[in-house]
Amino acid sequence: MKTLDEIVQTLTINGTLTDQPGLFYGKTGIAVFFFHHAQHTCNELFQNYAMDIIQEIQKQITVTMSARYDVGLAGIGVGFEYFLQNGFFEADDDLFEDFDARMYRTAMYEPYPDLSLEGGLIGWGRYFICRLRGNGQNKDQLNKTLIHIVHEIKQKIKKDAVSVKEQPDVYRFLHDVMSFPGYADKFGNVMQRCMKWKSIYEPDVQKIFSYMSHLQRLYTCQTCFNMDLNEEIAREWEKWKETENNTLNDMGLLKGWTTEGLLHLTNLHHLDVSWLNLL
């Protein structure tokens, strides 16, 4: 297991030098770690460094940037909203003006490649879920776009056009959507159809959400499927403590150095696992 000091040193060296600005593999995920580390060490230097990373990300955002969740605008926007909702920094209302406009055009008018979280429609939808949970403006437009996305998914489900690989992400997305007022009444039948999928009513925790680490997967399944996985989660934590993690090859939030750092903070400082909802 890497020590927290090793992780901080590595991420400090690579934070602003990492080319990728996105959430899963780049600067946005690294900023998540440094904001949390600053909060739990009460060290302003780490918060300042996280803000430096934010400034570097903003320089990299262009009109041609992909809207993908893993490496593009949707994930970066979710990361920024996460920072605001956790009180890591304050921002003017216009911070999301360009984000919202671009994501609105993307979701309403551009063809989506698939229903995946990483690069497809579910990732776009996660952006609007996160924004609606925030305190910003444009709620009507955000809600309109989210409804449009759910309608698109509904049509796919009616046509049995959702692949087995996509099903867990679709179910997780709809599970989150149902928390908004009125959505359960309007789209509850869609959720019922999802629950007939074999991958959902008999979920294999080892296989679904295949892009996640097993610990991340356990927490996600416990939330989405109301499964009692506390014992397995505890065993996985013990296994993590004994792992050398010599194969870390990126800085990212998905399975890289940032993940290891946040796991350390969660373990040492009883940080809640809300950051896993970014994945």
pLDDT in tens, 21-74: 999 999 999 999 999 999 989 999 999 999 999 999 999 999 899 999 999 999
What is the distance of C-alpha 161 from the center of its chain? Answer: 24
- What pLDDT score does 14 carry? 87
pLDDT in tens, 154-213: 999 999 999 999 999 999 999 999 999 999 999 999 999 999 999 999 999 999 998 998
Structure tokens at 237: 């934590």
Structure tokens at 47: 């918060």
In percent, the amount of the chain with pLDDT more than 70 equals 100
Query: CA 132, CA 125: separation in Å to the nearest integer?
Result: 11
Query: CA 72, CA 111: separation in Å to the nearest integer?
Result: 16
- What pLDDT score does 245 carry? 72
Q: Is the pLDDT score of 246 beyond 80?
A: no
With bands split at pLDDT 50, 70 and 90, how would you rate the model's confidence at 16?
Answer: confident
| Cα separations in angstroms, 259 against 4, 18, 112, 219, 275 | 11, 16, 28, 14, 10
- Would you mind telling me the total number of residues written for the chain in this entry? 279
Most confident of 88-92, 134-138, 188-192, 246-250: 188-192
Structure tokens at 112: 């989506």
Structure tokens at 273: 């696992």
